[in-house]
Structure 1
Amino acid sequence: MLQIAKHRKAVAVTISLSAIATIIIITIAVAAGAILQCSLCYDQFIPENIVL
């Protein structure tokens, strides 16, 4: 009985860690997408010859 309880705790920890990892990956992906969009918009509105 004790082993099952320990195993459940390990499973819960593993699920929690994988959930956190998934959230972090999604956050990074969304941030990267936003940065990419902003850089594209920046190029659109401010031509390179004005910047240089």
Structure 2
Amino acid sequence: MADHFPRPSAPASFPPDRRLIAVGIIRRHDGCTLTVRATEAGVTGSIRPAGAR
């Protein structure tokens, strides 16, 4: 018989002094660089030639 462990009653949470500031992605494809950033203020993005940084 398998051992069973009790599940936590509530999901783990971050301490109140920590929060997500930004998430983003940088992808290079077919000579272009796609950059997307999401913050509390909104979402921004750009597409540039791969040589430009």
TM-score range, shorter chain: under 0.3
Q: Which is greater in Rg?
A: 1
TM-score (norm 2): 0.22
Q: Which has the higher helix share?
A: 1
TM-score (norm 1): 0.22
